[in-house]
Amino acid sequence: MLNPKPTYGLGNSICSVSPVETLSFDLLQFLYHLALAILVGGSLVLGTAVAPALFAQARSRAEAGAMFGNVLARFDGLAVFSVLVLLVTSVLKAIGFEVTGAPETRLVLRWVSLAVLGIATLYSSAWANPVARQIRTATAGFDEQPASSPARVEFASLHERSRRAMSIAVVFGLLALFLG
């Protein structure tokens, strides 16, 4: 007897789904991977190419810091939006396509990776970077102050923690990419 519904491949399994379901899954996958690419790729490019180039070519450290701060401010908004896209697409993929019983270990590991990525990105892009920019903006003559001034010490601390958080986000983002 012939199966009246066409059979499509979805992930590693073969199941009967409509073309609309396949398109929905493909769209979710695309948005999910695009958000991960923005977060991981953007962070890698900013940290390994943009920042070193700006600090090497600018006339002063202050000028490079101001320029990179502007670049980072734009990326921070995109990063927070990408975390939201990851959250929505991951939930929709799980509910609609991936979990039919007890979740596989691979899925749980991916969700943990995404949670760490999201927390690290939100810490860096939604809190530490904006606060550091505010300190820099609100402090008159910020770059002329000694490194031991309270504003510069707080800025340096936020900068280092933000850098560390984004490094963690990149590692866990790569793991999430690997896990699918």
- Cβ(28)–Cβ(89) below 8 Å: yes
- Cβ(89)–Cβ(35) below 8 Å: yes
Report d(CA 80, CA 91) in Å as an integer. 17
pLDDT tens digit string along 75-127?
999 999 999 999 999 999 999 888 888 889 999 999 999 999 999 999 999 99
pLDDT reported for residue 14: 53
Q: What is the pTM of this model?
A: 0.85
With a cut of 60, say whether residue 2 has pLDDT above it. Answer: no
With a cut of 50, say whether residue 166 has pLDDT above it. Answer: yes
- pLDDT band with cut points at 50, 70 and 90 for residue 3: very low
pLDDT reported for residue 6: 43
User: How many helices (H) does the chain have, and how many strands (E)?
Assistant: 6, 2
How many residues would you count in the chain?
Answer: 180
Q: What are the angstrom distances between the C-alpha of 126 and each of 7, 83, 100, 106?
A: 44, 11, 34, 29
- Cβ(120)–Cβ(169) below 8 Å: yes
pLDDT tens digit string along 31-54?
999 999 999 999 999 999 999 999
pLDDT reported for residue 17: 59
Say which residue, 50 or 8, is predicted with more confidence: 50
What DSSP letter does each residue of 141-175 carry, written as one string?
TGGGS-TTSHHHHHHHHHHHHHHHHHHHHHHHHHH
107's tokens: 């899925």
Report d(CA 147, CA 145) in Å as an integer. 6
